[in-house]
């Protein structure tokens, strides 16, 4: 059948399945209505007879009981769609359903009729439960949380004859549903052959590598190499002609027609050849052992050389680090020396500037002292004129005169002592003493500081 025919057949099957699902849904709804009416009839009948309830009250009451299990189960199904387990809702739904079934069974005296109504209640609940579980499995299968359905394998032809192969095919069909029945079986056989081939290649590779080196290296190589790639390369370059010639030589008619004597001679020749081959093999083994010993010695020598080279490289790295550190320190010292020279130059410049400033301040001080002396002279002259113009009388001495007299009496007295003695402030005493000192410096004969006193006495 062509691919187009298979696609058309699958399309028709999908259409038939969709129509069947719609018919089943319609039949199920009708079934639910019928079962609900029958169970509700039994509930109302039992409530009216056993509990003596009015029909107008019994119908909604038992309807709530009958539908309670379905409603709670629907709520549990909704919560399970959201990923929850909804254990309490499912348990409550089952308890309500059991209560409805028990009420139908206990409310009727006729047990046959009671069993019929109770069975209808249980049947409706169980069918609804199966329907919700089927929908849940379909949703899980659609989102990949549940494995797809597997092909129907034959009991005798598959499960009984090849149980392991069939189980492997079923697992592959779950992973790849598009394989189908026979495709999954073929894939299982191919996987089984590949495992056998990989196992054989790993065994041969391990033996070859172990003969050259040590078993641990052989284990590492076997676990590291891609055995599937090796198998693919072996399959890509087979020598079928050589294998055919090898089998054909054994099946040649001339070889089959030899007599016993010929066979004995051939056997002896074969034995001699085998003995020579064994000797050659022993010699080759000895040479291989020598080569392996030399190889191990070479490996040891290389290991030693690599260790020495590593030590030399480490020393070179340490020397390079030391030189780099020394260069950094030298650069740091050069920077510090340059900064020191710059600081010394700046200090010399600042010293020169301060010297100039001191000289300027000294000149300013000299000028100020001269101005102060001139002002004192003017004040003294003004006081003398005032004293001449005033009428004669007894004049009170000024603070400067009192301080000058006190200093003359006690040259070593402190400012505080003179201030306490003259009832003046210490600041006033300091100011007049400093002025007198300036006058004594500016006037060599010392007459300017106390010039006012002789003038007053003369007046």
Instruction: Write out the DSSP string of 352-391.
Output: HHHHHHHHHHHHHHHHHHHHHHHHHHHHHHHHHHHHHHSP
Confidence of residue 138 (pLDDT cuts 50, 70, 90): confident
Give the pLDDT score at 4. 60
Q: For residue 118, is pLDDT > 90?
A: yes
Burial 4-33 (b: 16+ CB within 10 A, else e): eeeeeeeeeeeeeeeeeeeeeeeeeeeeee
Number of H helices, E strands in the chain: 15, 0
pLDDT of residue 153: 93
For residues 140 and 174, membership in a common domain is answered with no
Same structural domain, 231 and 170: yes
Instruction: For residues 372 and 443, give the distance between their C-alpha atoms in angstroms, rounded to a whole number.
Output: 12
Point out the least confidently predicted range of 57-71, 292-306, 322-336.
57-71
Q: Torsions phi, psi of 110, nearest 5?
A: -75, 105
Please indicate, yes or no, whether residues 67 and 129 belong to a single structural domain of this protein.
Answer: yes
pLDDT in tens, 151-204: 999 999 899 999 999 999 999 999 998 898 999 999 999 999 989 988 888 888
Q: Is the dihedral of CA 45, 50, 56, 61 positive or negative?
A: negative
Mean pLDDT of 373-388: 75
Residue 388 lies in a domain: no
- Per-residue pLDDT tens digits for 86-99: 999 999 999 999 99
148-177 CB burial, b ≥16 within 10 A, e <16: eebbebeeeebeeebeebbebbbebbeeee
Contacts for 261 with CB less than 8 Å, ≥ 6 apart:
none
pLDDT grade for 388, boundaries at 50, 70 and 90: low
**Domain shared by 33 and 137, yes or no:** yes
Based on C-alpha coordinates, what's the Rg of the chain? Answer: 63
Q: Which of 183, 213, 238 is the last residue of a domain?
A: 238
Residues spanned by the domain of 203:
164-238
What pLDDT, on a 0 to 100 scale, did the predictor assign at position 448? 41
Contact 131, 154 (CB under 8 A): no
Contact predicate 17/25, CB 8 Å: no
Greater pLDDT, 458 or 100:
100
Predicted confidence (pLDDT) at residue 259 exceeds the cutoff of 60: no
CA 110 from centroid of its chain's CA atoms: 72
Number of domains into which the chain is organized: 3
Query: Is 261 contained in some domain?
Result: no
Average pLDDT value for residue range 263-278: 80
Task: Round the average pLDDT of the chain to a whole number and report it.
Answer: 82
Does residue 438 surpass a pLDDT of 80?
A: no
Last residue of some domain: 238, 256, 286?
Answer: 238
């Amino acid at each position: 059948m062509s691919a187009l025919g298979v696609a058309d057949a699958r399309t028709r099957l999908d259409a038939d399945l969709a129509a069947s699902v719609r018919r089943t849904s319609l039949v199920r709804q009708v079934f639910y209505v019928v079962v609900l009416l029958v169970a509700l009839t039994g509930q109302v009948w039992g409530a009216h007879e056993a509990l003596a309830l009015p029909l107008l009250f019994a119908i909604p009451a038992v309807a709530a009981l009958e539908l309670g299990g379905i409603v709670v189960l629907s709520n549990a199904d909704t919560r399970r769609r959201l990923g929850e387990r909804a254990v309490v809702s499912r348990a409550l739904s089952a308890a309500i359903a059991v209560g409805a079934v028990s009420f139908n069974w206990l409310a009727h005296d006729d047990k046959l009729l009671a069993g019929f109504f109770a069975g209808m209640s249980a049947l409706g609940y169980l069918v609804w439960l199966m329907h919700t579980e089927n929908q849940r499995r379909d949703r899980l299968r659609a989102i990949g949380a549940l494995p797809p359905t597997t092909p129907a394998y034959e009991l005798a032809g598959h499960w009984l004859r090849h149980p392991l192969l069939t189980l492997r095919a079923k697992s592959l069909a779950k992973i790849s549903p598009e394989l189908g029945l026979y495709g999954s079986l073929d894939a299982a056989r191919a996987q089984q052959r590949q495992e056998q081939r990989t196992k054989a290649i790993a065994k041969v590779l391990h033996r070859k590598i172990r003969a050259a080196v040590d078993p641990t290296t052989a284990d590492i190589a076997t676990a590291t190499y891609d055995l599937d790639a090796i198998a693919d390369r072996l399959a890509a370059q087979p020598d079928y002609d050589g294998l055919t010639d090898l089998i054909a030589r054994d099946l040649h008619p001339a070889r089959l027609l030899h007599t016993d004597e010929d066979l004995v001679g051939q056997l002896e020749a074969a034995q001699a050849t085998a003995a020579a081959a064994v000797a050659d093999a022993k010699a080759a083994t000895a040479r291989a052992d020598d080569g392996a010993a030399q190889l191990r010695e070479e490996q040891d020598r290389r290991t030693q050389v690599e260790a020495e080279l590593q030590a030399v490289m480490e020393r070179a790295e340490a020397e390079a680090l030391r030189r780099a550190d020394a260069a950094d320190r030298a650069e740091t010292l050069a920077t510090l020396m340059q900064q020191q020279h710059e600081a010394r130059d700046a200090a010399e410049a600042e010293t020169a500037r301060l010297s100039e400033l001191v000289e300027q301040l000294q000149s300013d001080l000299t000028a100020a002292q001269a101005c102060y002396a001139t002002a004192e002279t003017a004040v003294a002259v003004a006081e003398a004129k005032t004293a001449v113009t005033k009428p004669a009388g007894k004049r009170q001495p000024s603070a400067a005169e009192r301080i000058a007299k006190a200093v003359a009496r006690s040259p070593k007295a402190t400012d505080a002592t003179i201030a306490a003695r003259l009832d003046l402030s210490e600041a006033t005493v300091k100011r007049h003493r400093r002025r007198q000192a300036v006058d004594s410096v500016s006037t060599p004969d010392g007459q300017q500081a106390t010039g006012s006193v002789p003038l007053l006495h003369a007046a």
